[in-house]
Structure 1
């Protein structure tokens, strides 16, 4: 337990962290990778370059300081991060390394304002927070390894099939190289894919949502090729998977993880809303609901630029046709002449259209896609007075915020 003095000191740093949090975490990662370059094999380099990881860590540190006397408040966030850590293979012995470099970054960025008293308080607080993560993750590692078909660390899988789903999305079907069984998973979960790519200095690990229902003899992921854009470089892993990975080749997967999952115990109607490649966990949820012959009403809504970028469309339509309780609706922001009759709304998802195609707002809503798209959907649902506890969403990559403007940028471009 933390002393009252330590809690008071940590809380006094909240305003400083609000201003300097990103600067601290940016310096932290610089120190971490300089002092321990081997950790470059764990972290997503693209998120580092784009500043996403630094912002996510800054938000986590800020929340920890704000609720240092009520750590149970941030337990859901802890579990979400712990899932990612377990999937990546973060170990208990790495936490002291992180703590040492984080304290050094605080000292360097804040200068004289980072007194010995403040640094000592943060060292004590970090120790408590780290012990919570280590405990939660230890349980997750044990569960992942001991479940039927489970394993520890990474396991070799062979690419059984590679299927192009749209101009930018390709599905990969993985089966274990050892011929053994595979662990089940909850619809909405993801796996980490670990690859050593020729010409790349470091190992690359990426997390991809599983895009089919559990209970199959394979895992399927559906990957968007991340080409170079003015705002970001090309995705090293996604481009390699699309261009170089062939059927029969082998890569390494973690056991499934993640807390963005479909609640199969709930009996209320389900609304699944996706933009772009955000449809992958939604398809897993849809397939599971149909395969289990649920009586729940299911509404599947997907937004894409046009048919060229619309992946898994035929599969979703076939799945929906298997039950009278399901319906699918497509929204294209920039349809082509080839899309005539192939979509239900042109332009952007808006509230009147949602109210028209969703039979009942007393439902559970799941959505995923680009952050501006999710911010837009979240705003519409809140405007419709859907209770926050009925709204669930997933960030691809480090957690962010949906508290942002959501105008026309909300439509996914791919």
Structure 2
């Protein structure tokens, strides 16, 4: 990829992922310490994704019109600003609402980061290498988040929550600085006019884009929503240990295994989907592996069993994501890819927003084992998504 795009964009996304991952092992426990209800904790965790729902299509249309470098820089700086509220919440009254504001601000920034990075990857690739370069961006996020999970759990355990939140701010600022100085502004061949009305109706006029997005909805609801929001409580409830007994650290480490395995699998999957005739083919076994991973997680009584389950799920999700995004690039015109990625991200964020709200409440009500089993069954709906996309690919002979 030209102009360092294959290195700088993944690196900036990696740093943004660190900032996002740091808070996950901390917020659920911090919320309970602040005597917040399970529902409100879920709302706080989901707030960034709820915010993105309203910004994603505007961001996608803006990138189609003006390119992706400036939105990427602005997004990373907004993420840093949002993280400041986490620190303020440790010292101010009404801390729950301060945390909520921080998550909302962070959501605006992450919308700019995710859509800019993914759109640039699609626009600057072709059919023969789209899986490879799409994988680079997804893997950067997959590696950044686990780094943040471990860092957040470790810093909050050894030092203070404030130190962990400060590292989130620094990571996002560093990412913005690298993009500003080292990424040349890339120009696509066709710049679409900024038409907000058209961007809002794009989802309904392009059903196959929405089908790809539905696959992302199921993934975000199950993994980024339910698992990442509830695992710290599951680990604490079962008294699991890994070096330290602090549930924040343990959950951060085991979730890191999930995200890291997703990154490794994504690298492999990116090269495979570029070589096979129908990219959707690889999605079918991936869905089944996720289901078995949820089943194992539900009955896990040791840290090793949890790690094994999360590696299974992470690896399969890495394959799943690369396949979906590559197909999205194949079926979308260059001038509309920002809006298409916006739809993809909107549906993912809806799922990621609903996951923590239902997951924490259900886990505490009916038990985490039953809740994880139900989530695994729900994930099987992705088989229908890949079946539909497989039929489309055969018709278009992509």
The two structures have a TM-score, normalised by structure 1, of 0.22
Structure label with greater radius of gyration: 1
Task: Give the structure with the higher percent strand.
Answer: 1
The two structures have a TM-score, normalised by structure 2, of 0.23
Q: Which has the higher contact order (CA 8 A, sep 6+)?
A: 2
